[in-house]
Structure 1
């Protein structure tokens, strides 16, 4: 995955605005990739949105791990919301502790992960105010130092929270499935093959990935 440390910090947005780079990325992808040239026009007037504040995004990602349905993940998140007084913050999670999170229905491991996440934020072992200015790999390094956050979760954070333009999440089964379907006639694809396909997308791998997810 390429780093994007040289891109300028994005202007403030409310989460619903189109990313400033989106139209340029679409123009590039339509010109360079025959599959995206067909797929992108099927999804007009839609674009990447931002999800929640950093702590909430990460907490929700941890809670949703290894849950097979969206409904089940949402139900568990609602229980966590209720236990936290309808606002999931580092302080609320810290006050609940392991016992409170377990009582809300979280597993021992997920409870431990959330407590560790809250401690990282409360003790300033992560620096969310600086993430906009840090390159991709530096942010990933901070995030993966937290228990329960692997590279895939960190890359999803870069895409959906920081809206970085050139993230290629090769561990994402949806992306690999879409590449298999559209570029290899449904045959399984390796990470190497997926990376080769994505060479034409740079420096807009996030946008290409987003449209391929939509195609599924």
Structure 2
């Protein structure tokens, strides 16, 4: 598991090892790693799991700028909280959420996530104990959460080290450009291609995002609906 560098010294050691072994295994990726610099992956505390899923839903199919604007208006509905709780979202009328710029479809997703969390049928605390594919199955119980969103959660929230979001458009484009492919690789082709990056595919994915258009932060791009 990848630990938050601010709280656990093992994170930096792990990432150094991952970068070293990826560079040895793939000379092309090694060039990108040198260009981008140190990897900045980490994970959130367990009480941030609900927040991560809410943000993932809000960001779906939007540019980062548009999503950040909606997220700010959404959070402003709950001024007494650092971030809205499941109970708070469940009690908020849909009209208020729509006024914050959230689509009716995403409102239904947020309500579903909140209700499942409140009634105990979606226990987020146990997610960190599950294997990767079990995490995906567990999260996909919620409306609006598919495999891509679950993979983002595993990489950026749980800190799982070996996840390759093969349907991510940003990664597909980066691989096509970096490796001189004539066509965009399919998810299946990318899964096969990414075997060379095991067991550090999350780190490889971060570098592929970070190297896209010189974006050192790395911005995942969900598959088209």
How would you bin the TM-score normalised by the shorter chain? Answer: 0.7 to 0.9
Out of 150, 154, 158, the position equivalent to 1:158 is 154
**Residue equivalent to 1:36:** 29
**What TM-score, normalized by structure 2, do the two folds share?**
0.83
**What TM-score, normalized by structure 1, do the two folds share?**
0.86
In structure 1, distance between residues paired with 2:182 and 2:42? 29
From the superposition, tell whether residues 129 and 106 of structure 1 become closer, same or farther in structure 2 (CA, over 3 Å).
same
8 A contact 1:16–1:50 mirrored in 2: no
From the superposition, tell whether residues 31 and 176 of structure 1 become closer, same or farther in structure 2 (CA, over 3 Å).
same
**Residue equivalent to 1:134:** 130
Greater RCO structure (CA 8 Å; 6+ sep): 1
User: Which residues in structure 2 correspond to 1:129-208 (within 5 Å)?
Assistant: 129-185=125-181, 187-208=183-204
- Note the C-alpha offset of 1:89: 1.3
From the superposition, tell whether residues 202 and 46 of structure 1 become closer, same or farther in structure 2 (CA, over 3 Å).
closer
8 A contact 1:84–1:96 mirrored in 2: no
Out of 6, 13, 18, the position equivalent to 1:25 is 18
In structure 1, distance between residues paired with 2:13 and 2:54? 27
**Residue equivalent to 2:89:** 93
In structure 1, distance between residues paired with 2:103 and 2:34? 43
8 A contact 1:19–1:163 mirrored in 2: no
**Residue equivalent to 2:211:** 215
**How many residue pairs were aligned?**
207
Which aligned runs of 4 or more in structure 1 are off by greater than 4 angstroms? 9-17
User: Which residues in structure 2 correspond to 1:37-116 (within 5 Å)?
Assistant: 37-50=30-43, 53-67=48-62, 69-85=63-79, 86=81, 87-116=83-112
**Residue equivalent to 1:5:** none
8 A contact 1:60–1:77 mirrored in 2: yes
RMSD of equivalent CA atoms = 2.2
